[in-house]
Chains A and B, each alone.
Chain A
Amino acid sequence: AQSVTQLGSHVSVSEGALVLLRCNYSSSVPPYLFWYVQYPNQGLQLLLKYTSAATLVKGINGFEAEFKKSETSFHLTKPSAHMSDAAEYFCAVSAWGRNTDKLIFGTGTRLQVFP
């Protein structure tokens, strides 16, 4: 069975500081991994995805994530936080096969950005 664990339900950074949101996965097969962002009262927007190509994945809004098999991690980073980055971030793993594919989400990390 596949799962993801997000470490830290809340992360606070100052504007301009490094953003690091942690995600560890568990999968019996090579995983496909995703990061989504959710702004208040909105749906989910895909930030980036890992599908077994390059281990360093670049996404939208300056975010990137690195797949590390040895650490079973897929942490999300951004060099310099903006106020507009304040939102809820979800890591997800795709469980596909037998003619279905579904996303299994972590519990989320709320990012606060202080001026």
Chain B
Amino acid sequence: DAGVTQSPTHLIKTRGQQVTLRCSPISGHKSVSWYQQVLGQGPQFIFQYYEKEERGRGNFPDRFSARQFPNYSSELNVNALLLGDSALYLCASSLGSGTKTYEQYFGPGTRLTVT
């Protein structure tokens, strides 16, 4: 069975540009979460979506936005890129959200470099 897939693998952008990252969850999973992992640190929660609705948002500026599509895939958008946005962006999928804790399965990540 295919795991969580993310695209692109690597991306280089310049300051001020906009970027869109994509994630496809495991088949049957309805929840997608996004995490940012800056070099040398643990992942930080950005968003969770379940059944196309935002269920949680971390402490990130409004430049960060996301959405989930009817097929449960998701996009993360970051506007007005800053050097500090350089990081590994991880997508995780799970069966559900909120009624209990669900095991989250991570994709390989998208490495974003902002120059």
Give the B-binding residues of A (Cβ under 8 A): 32, 36, 41-46, 49, 51, 90, 92, 94, 96-108
Asked whether B41 lies within 8 Å of A101 as measured between CB atoms, the reply is no
Complex CA distance for A43 and B108, rounded to whole angstroms? 4
Chain A nearest CB: distance from B15 CB in Å?
A: 25
Asked whether A108 lies within 8 Å of B41 as measured between CB atoms, the reply is yes
Complex CA distance for A106 and B58, rounded to whole angstroms? 16
Complex CA distance for A98 and B101, rounded to whole angstroms? 12
The B contact surface, by secondary structure, is: loop
> Which residues does chain A contribute within 8 Å of B90, judged by CB atoms?
43-44
Complex CA distance for A105 and B45, rounded to whole angstroms? 9
The A contact surface, by secondary structure, is: strand
Given known contacts A43-B90, A90-B43, A108-B41, is B98 in contact with A101 (CB within 8 Å)? yes
Tell me which of B48-56, B61-69, B70-78, B79-87 binds A. Answer: B48-56
> Which residues does chain A contribute within 8 Å of B105, judged by CB atoms?
46
Q: Determine whether B109 belongs to the interface, using a CB cutoff of 8 Å to chain A.
A: yes
Contacts A103-B45, A108-B41 supplied; 6 other A-B pairs, CB < 8 Å: A43-B90, A43-B106, A99-B99, A100-B56, A102-B48, A102-B58
Asked whether A44 lies within 8 Å of B98 as measured between CB atoms, the reply is no
> Which residues does chain A contribute within 8 Å of B113, judged by CB atoms?
none
> Which residues does chain B contribute within 8 Å of A94, judged by CB atoms?
101
Complex CA distance for A104 and B42, rounded to whole angstroms? 9
The 14 sampled A-B contact pairs (Cβ below 8 Å) are A36-B106, A43-B4, A43-B90, A43-B109, A46-B103, A96-B101, A98-B98, A100-B50, A101-B97, A101-B101, A103-B43, A103-B45, A104-B45, A105-B43
Q: Determine whether B27 belongs to the interface, using a CB cutoff of 8 Å to chain A.
A: no
Chain A nearest CB: distance from B11 CB in Å?
A: 14
The residue in B48, B94, B111 that gathers the most chain A C-beta atoms within 10 A of its C-beta is: B48
Contact of B106 among A32, A44, A51, A106 (CB under 8 A): A44
Q: Determine whether B104 belongs to the interface, using a CB cutoff of 8 Å to chain A.
A: yes
Contact of B42 among A45, A90, A100 (CB under 8 A): A90
